[in-house]
Amino acid sequence: MKLHEEIETIAYEIWEKSGWVHGRDLEHWFEAERIVKERYVIETGEKKKPKEEKKTVKSVKKSVKTQKRKKSEES
């Protein structure tokens, strides 16, 4: 099965399991991609790359506030 078809099939299964809730197609697609990538890693024996730190909107806003505060203190 081609990679795209496999992701599509799994995303559809996730959609079914979620009760056919509309509007979450990208979430289902990304989850399916993650599942397929994990399978690929297991099948090929490749080592996973370390996860990069995910920044949330809240942490980004906090970072921006901190930078603004530091600039105003320097002035």
pLDDT, one tens digit per residue, over 24-48 is 999 999 999 999 999 888 777 765 5
pLDDT at 42: 78
Residue spans of beta strands (DSSP E) within 1-75: none
pLDDT tens sequence across 6-17? 999 999 999 999
Q: Is the pLDDT of residue 53 over 70?
A: no
pTM score, whole prediction: 0.55
Q: Is the pLDDT of residue 5 over 70?
A: yes
- Characterize 33-57 residue by residue with b for buried, 16 or more Cβ atoms within 10 angstroms of its Cβ, and e for exposed: eebbeeeeeeeeeeeeeeeeeeeee
